[in-house]
Amino acid sequence: MSGQKVCLTIAGLDPSGGAGIIADVKTITAFGCFAAAAVSSVTFQNTTGVFGAVHQDAASIRGQITAVLDDLSVAAVKTGMLPTREVIEETARILLERPVPFLVVDPVVRSTSGFDLIDDAALRSLIELLFPLSLVVTPNLQEAERISGIKINSVGKVEAAAKVMLSMGAGSVLMKGGHLLESETETKAIDRLFLSDGMCREFESDYIDTKATHGTGCTLAAAITANLALGAELPDSVSIAKNFVTRAIKTATGLGNGHSPINISAAV
């Protein structure tokens, strides 16, 4: 039997390849794991924006996920764009029926270009059904504001929003985007991991002023998922993933006319 670790990503398809399922598969593969994927939505997007989407239904999601789980020993699962309540409820139902060792929930609610990817009813289902199954939830500050209802403009508000999400059932919360806070320097990007025991770990890197940001959130969550599958503890998985994304941003080649994709293949 193969010793290669299998990671399953459940997310949307970005046909331009910079984000979503394709970015997840590239990232999982870069860490030496085997990537399996279930498509939740076929989006119409590129580096300049999102122009629409055709969402999958519950039967499609169940068929895709169970086909993988019936055949492969899945070490970790990552969810990304789950666009409807129907898709979220079915995903949660399957993961309750067929528990996996690690679940990373990336609560994708809006694209980099500002396109809303999930409505309020679906977001409530995501919180109620998937947060309690998660090892970690990985919102950026805008996503955390929408989930928690807290306007985040200081480190104290970051902590307050994280505590709200922990109270909603999240196993832990990785708050991304510290360089956006008014109280912090623009030269450092600080992510904060809030654990269920009340501890907080900070992960700092140089802030890179760039438009090469397409797929950063997907890639970070997928890298965390892969490292959990490989046996790393959560804080170590976050640290490795953050360094990976930083290298991918630094080596981005500037593809496209908008927010160009990061260079996953050069980040290993």
Catalytic residues: 176, 213, 215-218
Phi first, then psi: what are they for 257, rounded to 5°?
A: -105, 5
CB 92 within 8 A of CB 122: no
How many other C-beta atoms can be found within 10 angstroms of the C-beta atom of residue 22?
22
Strand partners, 103: 77
3-state secondary structure of 90: helix
Residue with tokens 């690690």: 102
Q: Are 9 and 25 in contact (CB under 8 A)?
A: yes
Structure tokens at 206: 């140089």
**E strand or H helix at 37, and its extent?**
strand 34-46
CA–CA distance, 188 with 60 (Å, rounded to integer) = 42
The three-class DSSP label of residue 224 is: helix
Is 2:69 a contact under the CB 8 Å cutoff? no
11 has which bridge partners?
39
CA distance 263 to 246: 10
